[in-house]
Amino acid sequence: MTMAVTAGRTGRTAISPRAAVLAYLAVAGVVFLLMMLLGLTMRLAQAQWIDVPPNFFYVVMTMHGAGMVGIAGLSSAAVMWHFVRRHDPVSTAVFLTNLVFFLIGAVLILGAGFIGGFGAAWTFLFPLPAHSGGLWSVNAAASYLIGLIFIGVGFLLLHLDIARGILSKYHGLGAALGVKQAFGLAPAEAGPPPAVTASTMALIANILGIVVGAAVLVISLVNLYVPSFTFNTLAAKNLIYYFGHTFINVTIYMAVIAVYEILPVYSHRKWKTNWAFYLAWVLSTVFVLTVYTHHLLMDFAMPTWTLVAGQVISWLSGLPVLLVTAFGTLTVVYRSGLRWNPAAALVFLGVAGWAIGVIPAIADGTIAVNSVMHNTQWVPGHFHTYLLLGMVAMVLGFMTYLTNPQPRYGFAWLGYWLYLVGGVIFVIAFLLAGAASVPRRYAVHVAQWLPYDRIGSIGAALAIAGVLILVVRFFVGMRTAVLAEDPIG
């Protein structure tokens, strides 16, 4: 890494943009693995193969949830920044500042959990952080909330800087999104590159989401120390899910840039944008901001129209971008003579995992189904499908592309197949358990549920072994990758 540290114009040392991206990915590789081990710990505990006291299970669940959501954001931000940087001026200093804020936040969150015993789930539902039943202190809860605020502020700075870069080249966010192209008012060929369109949607959604999140975090923080200061719990839930849903959802829209940029490199075909592509992104920009209402389908106190809207938007939300991406992926790959290699296979898998995971998600976004499936393992079943086998696959593809781009490495292929086969077993075990009405977020499972837990544990262990191999390969390739240009083109 030292080689990449070059003297800046001011005479101070500066880290090269490429080294900064690799630093993000190095952190991501390690954190993904550690958080996966926490996930495996929960699964093994549910399977009764290891003994985990229930209060500690909830600490692990909280750390796994917060850690995974955070590192999903960080790693997909690296994908976005790497590619948007080719088109718009962005600041490496701000990019690194986000990493520093993330690490500070992570220390506060891990301290809250593993030292302070905080276990109110990553969703910190108001007023749960203040009602620990003696399991954690007010300070531990505060450390968790402040940690989240740090991470949010880092991302806010990053998205604002990307907005600045984009606006310096386009006349407004609408132009950067491709609104005119979406409605046929301008030729698609003159539209923004996919990386710019996706980054624009990500910044619109996340800036709004983070501001809302910061508001409810501060309210919760005040409530911790001044219990007489209360807030409408239903309003708080709305704000939290507005933030939480948007943040995790946007990780996929940032990571998908890897598909648009990497597959064409290997298939030697350009990713063609057309009006449908831009229209899809414009529609999904609107939906991503309103779709959080599917988290309220069981909240009878909400006005009925919001629940109906939540159901309809849930059906529609992900579909436009998913469809143009899946279609575009097939067009880029079909009969292109592409020679498969781990990087291309991983981003391709990412699209498939995303597409397949959305199906059980849409089912759950239907009120009639939600009344039965709500809070069963059907829910971790669908989101682990499009996160573990979708978003994470895209990020692993990007990591492999930067450090191990050539097709001849059998070791990476082994990692790929272990991760794919193990991951599929792991998510199917969740979905089957959900279909059998096994509740989610239960530390202790009854005998009838153990077969699912045990099969799920085995799948998880295989998947983690695969990810370990891919991450090790990443670190091995990192030294040369710091100095290299992007593979091919």
**Is position 365 an interface residue for ligand HEM (rule: CB under 6 A)?**
no
Near ligand HEM in 7-66, by CB under 6 A: 36, 39-40, 42-43, 61, 64-65
The one of ligand HEM, Cu ion, none whose footprint includes residue 245, by CB under 5 to 8 A per kind, is Cu ion
Lay out the site mask for ligand HEM across 390-419 (x = CB under 6 A, - = otherwise): --x---------------------------
| DSSP structure string for 42-109 | HHHHHTTSS---HHHHHHHHHHHHHHHHHHHHHHHHHHHHHHHTTTS---HHHHHHHHHHHHHHHHHH
**How far is Cα of residue 308 from the mean position of the Cα atoms in its chain?**
27
Please compute Rg for the chain using Cα positions. Answer: 22
Nearer to ligand HEM, 273 or 370 (CB): 370
Output the smallest distance, CB 16 to ligand HEM, in A: 28
Output the smallest distance, CB 239 to ligand HEM, in A: 17
Nearer to ligand HEM, 289 or 464 (CB): 464
**Is position 440 an interface residue for ligand HEM (rule: CB under 6 A)?**
yes
The one of ligand HEM, Cu ion, none whose footprint includes residue 152, by CB under 5 to 8 A per kind, is none
Among 24, 101, 118, 122, binds ligand HEM (CB under 6 A): 122
Among 156, 388, 402, 455, binds ligand HEM (CB under 6 A): 388
Assess contact for 88 and 166: CB atoms under 8 A: yes
Output the smallest distance, CB 294 to Cu ion, in A: 6
Residue closest to Cu ion, measured at CB: 245
Strands (E), 74-209: none
Among 4, 121, 130, 352, binds ligand HEM (CB under 6 A): 121
C-alpha–C-alpha distance, residues 271 and 1, integer Å: 33
- Residue 135 main-chain phi, psi, to 5 deg: -80, -30
**Is position 245 an interface residue for Cu ion (rule: CB under 5 A)?**
yes
Report the Cα–Cα distance between both ends of the chain, in Å, rounded. 24
Output the smallest distance, CB 443 to ligand HEM, in A: 8
Which DSSP category does 439 fall into?
B
**Is position 291 an interface residue for ligand HEM (rule: CB under 6 A)?**
no
Nearer to ligand HEM, 374 or 440 (CB): 440
Q: In terms of Cα–Cα distance, which of 244, 240, 177, 169 is closest to 206?
A: 244
Among 22, 28, 31, 69, binds ligand HEM (CB under 6 A): 69
Assess contact for 299 and 237: CB atoms under 8 A: yes
Q: Which residues, including other chains, have CB under 8 Å from residue 476's CB and lie 6 or more apart?
A: 403, 404
